[in-house]
Amino acid sequence: MRLTLFIISILFGVVLNAQTSKEVRLAIQKMAAEKDLKNASISFYAYDLDSNSVVAGLGANKSLVPASTMKLITTATALELLGPEKRFSTSIKYSGEIDSNCVLNGDIYIVGGGDPCLGSERFSEHYGNFINKWAIEIIKLGIDSINGRVIGDASVFSEQMIPSTWIWSDLGNYYGAGPCGLSIYENKCKLELKSGKRGDSTEITCVYPYIPNLDFNNHVKGMITHKDQSYIFGGPYQENRSIEGGIPVNSEKFMVKGSIPDPSYLAAFQLEMELRGLGIILSKPSTTIRKLKIDNKGSQKIKKHTVTTKYSPKLIDIIKLTNFYSINLYAEHLTNQIGRFKYKSGDTGSGSQATTLFWKGNDLDVNGMYVYDGSGLSRFNSITAKHLVGVLKHMNQSKNKKLFIKSLPVAGKSGTMRNIGKGTAASGKVRAKSGTMTRIKSYAGYITTKNKSNIAFALIVNNFNCTSFEMKKKIEKIMIKIAEIER
C-alpha cells in the first residue's frame, strides 16, 4: 500500500512539475510574441536546484550581450579564487635616507595594490581622513623637509586603464571610470553646474575634488527635463575634456559626475598638498611612475622603506556593493585582481581569460561565452542564459554559497531590485542582478517559489523596441510567474 502511494505521489508530482513548467514556458513564449519584441533576441533559462530539473527555457544557448549581469560571473569568480577575506593594500614608502637635519634625501611613494575603494564615501568610516593620516605617519619619522617629491605608483595594474572595447562616449563619465592600480574616490569627480532658461548656456561653478590642470569645454544647455542628460567626453590621462547635452533649467547646483583622468596623480598631489599644509618643505612637485617613465626617469629599481599600509575592506564587502549597486569600477578592479592572481598581470585581458578558464575548469560549457570586461559595459561581451544559470548552480554548491547569495539585492527590498515585484509573490523571494544598457535588459539570480523550491534563472533580451522601463515590467512578470509556482 505504501509503495503504491509512493508511486502515485511521484507520478502526481511529475504531473504538477510539468504543469508549473508549462505555465512558465507559456509566459515566456507570450512575452517573446509581443510586438515590441518582434526584432528582439531572447535567452531564457530556469532550473530547479532542488530536483535538478529544467523548469523552462527559450533560446537558452543563444549568446547575447548581458550588460551588468556580467558582474555575477566576475564576482563569483573573484570570490572563489581570492576568498571572502581578501584585502587589497595601499602603502606609503620612502626612498633614500633621512639625515641628521631631518631632511629626507629621497622621495615619498604611494604604492597602490589595486584597492577599488580607497577614499570611497561608501567606506568613509573605514578609511577616515587617510591623506592626513599618511602625512602624520611621514612626519613621525622625524622629517621636516623632503629633497624630492611624492610619487604615485599604480604599476600593479596596466597603464591602459580602460578595457579596449568600451565606447568613447562612456569614458569621461563616472560609470566609465577605468581601474587604476592606485584608484581614489572611486575615480569619480563631481561637477556643479548652474543653469538658466531653456537653451541657455550653463556654468560650471565647482569641481571637486580639485584636480590640477583639469579643464572642461562646457557646451551643456538648460533643458526641460528632470534628470541629467549631459555627457562628458575624455579618456584616461586627458586633462582637457568636453561636456555636452543638457540639465534641468533654473538649477543652482546641479550635480554631474565624471571620471578622474589620472587617479594616481591625484592621490600624489593630495598627499603633497597635505604635507605642505603641515609645514613640510618639498623640493619638487608630485608626479607618478607613469610620468617618470615617459621622461625616462622611472625605470631603475629603487630600494624603498615602508612607512604605513592601509588595507581595503574585505572582498565580500566589496562584492556585495558591486552587486547591490552595480558599480562598474569595482567589477573591473576584480577582473584585474583575478588576472594578477592567475597570471601576475593586472589587466582586463588577463582577468577575462582567467575568468573564462576558471568556469571551463568547473565543467561549464564555455562555447559562446565571450568575456571582454568585468562589469558588462562592453558590448563585445556575449553569454547565454544557460551560462549564467551554470554559474548560479555552481555557487549554490560552493562553500561561499551563503555569502554569494546574500551579495545579491532582494526584489522589492534593496539595491537595483528594490522596485521589482513589490506587493507580489516575487517581493522578498528573488535575489538577482539586473543589467541595463541601450536596447539591453537582463536579470539573473535565485527565486524561492511559493512551495519553497529554489530556482536559478537568467533572462537576457537584446534589441527590443519598447522603452527600458517597459521591458523591465515584461521581465518582472516572468519573475513573478516563477515565484508563484506551487505544487
Give me the helices (H) in 101-216, please.
Answer: 124-127, 130-139, 168-171
> Looking at the predicted structure, is the pLDDT value of residue 13 above 50?
no
Q: For residue 5, name the pLDDT band (cuts at 50, 70, 90).
A: very low
CB under 8 A, 24+ apart: contacts of 129-137: 130/310, 131/270, 131/271, 131/274, 132/274, 133/308, 133/310, 134/92, 134/110, 134/271, 134/274, 134/307, 134/308, 135/271, 135/274, 135/275, 135/278, 135/280, 136/278, 137/92, 137/307, 137/308
The number of C-alpha atoms within 13 Å of 6 and in the hemisphere containing its C-beta is 3
Strands 203-208 and 281-282: unpaired
Q: Per CATH, the architecture of 88-313 is what?
A: 3-Layer(bba) Sandwich (3.50)
Q: Where in the chain is the domain with CATH 3.50.80.20?
A: 88-313
Rounded Cα distance, 133 and 26, in Å: 61
Quick one: average pLDDT of 74-88?
98
Q: For residue 298, name the pLDDT band (cuts at 50, 70, 90).
A: low
Q: Where in the chain is the domain with CATH 3.40.710.10?
A: 13-84+316-483
> Looking at the predicted structure, is the pLDDT value of residue 18 above 80?
no
> Looking at the predicted structure, is the pLDDT value of residue 9 above 60?
no
Cβ burial of 125 (10 Å; 0-12, 13-18, 19+) is exposed
The residues near 305 (Cβ < 8 Å, ≥ 6 apart) are 93, 94, 95
Quick one: average pLDDT of 232-253?
96
Q: Coil, helix or strand for 68?
A: helix
Q: What is the pLDDT of residue 6?
A: 39
Quick one: average pLDDT of 219-229?
94
Q: How far out from the chain centre does Cα 364 lie?
A: 23
Which pLDDT tens digit goes with each residue over 84-110?
Answer: 999 999 999 999 999 999 999 999 999
Rounded Cα distance, 475 and 43, in Å: 12
Phi, then psi, of 461 in degrees rounded to 5: -130, 125
Contact 48, 57 (CB under 8 A): no
Which of 82, 28, 30 lies closest to 58, judged by CA? 28
Q: Coil, helix or strand for 412?
A: coil
Q: What is the pLDDT of residue 14?
A: 38
Pick the CATH number of 13-84+316-483 from 2.60.120.510, 3.40.50.720, 3.40.710.10, 3.30.930.10: 3.40.710.10
The residues near 430 (Cβ < 8 Å, ≥ 6 apart) are 410, 411, 417, 420, 421, 445, 446, 447, 448, 479, 483
Helix axes 385-396, 70-82, angle to 10 degrees: 30
Contact 94, 307 (CB under 8 A): yes
Which pLDDT tens digit goes with each residue over 342-396?
Answer: 999 999 999 999 999 999 999 999 999 999 999 999 999 999 999 999 999 999 9
> Looking at the predicted structure, is the pLDDT value of residue 30 above 50?
yes
Indicate yes or no: pTM above 0.75.
yes
Q: What is the pLDDT of residue 487?
A: 61
